[in-house]
Amino acid sequence: LSNGALAIRDSIQRHFNDHQDVQIITATTTHGAYTEQSSDTKSIISGYCVVHAGKGLTYCTNNKFIDACQKVGWKGGALSEFEMNMMLWKKLAANCVINPLTAIHGVKNGQLLSLEKTERTITCILEELSSIAILEMESFIQAEEDVEVQAHLQRSIREELSVDFLKSFVTKVMTDTSDNISSMLQDVNAKRTTEVRFLNGYVAHLGKEKYSIDCQYNKDMCNRVEDLKY
């Protein structure tokens, strides 16, 4: 349950490749939150408080985890492995757009909606990601033996991971978390290493190493974020 979940999952799978008893459980959330210094006397010990800037949903492939989430008031549900992988690619699309661009421009998520100069960049980032995501998910369903089911899944992949669909999804995330300060902007402001290599870097690496696709815009996002000096 983190940004860059696909990159982290792949890394864990490579590390435990020979251990058949290792189970990786993936999850995702659209909830937006950030920390800020607090003047509340109840928060003096920790020195900060958590601002829930965009209430979202949490999904997982494990029913026990979802039950635990619901007990503490988190809304969401359980997904199949196919559904989760689709959701993680959509979440990665949002992260690959929102996180680096908010960090580069120093704005909250929703403010990206009014920055016209980012429109072309957003489209190019998503075009690259969409091509990789579709190839990955079409490979994922090859094990499906039912021809009709596989055809249905393929239609879903090509529709829901298309550039237009991903644009709509990313725009909705920007709107729903408009007041949120992205984790990457928080990291840049705090002079911490960002997760950009697990987001845009993952897309660029996968594209080049596995499919011989040059994802120039996602590589550029990595370079621009890492060149920031705040």
Tokens 């959701």 appear where?
Answer: 87
Question: Over pLDDT 70: what percentage of the chain?
Answer: 88
pLDDT at 39: 60
Cα dihedral 224/120/109/219 (nearest 10)? -30
User: Catalytic one among 90, 91, 108, 219?
Assistant: 91
Residue 108 scores a pLDDT above 70: yes
- Under the banding of pLDDT at 50, 70 and 90, the label for residue 43 is very low
- Average model confidence (pLDDT) across the chain: 88
pLDDT at 26: 84
**CB hemisphere CA count around 66 (13 angstroms):** 17
Q: With the C-alpha atoms ordered 135, 165, 123, 2, is the resulting torsion angle positive or negative?
A: negative
Give first-to-last CA distance, the chain, whole Å: 28
Residue 102 scores a pLDDT above 80: yes
Weakest-pLDDT range from 13-27, 75-89, 160-174, 189-203: 13-27
Mean pLDDT confidence for 77-82: 91
Distances (CA, A) of 58 to 1, 183, 188: 9, 17, 26
Residue 196 scores a pLDDT above 70: yes
- 142-151, 153-162, 181-190 — most confident range: 153-162
91 labelled catalytic = yes
pLDDT at 6: 86
Per the model's pLDDT, the better-predicted residue between 143 and 163 turns out to be 163
Residue 44 scores a pLDDT above 50: no
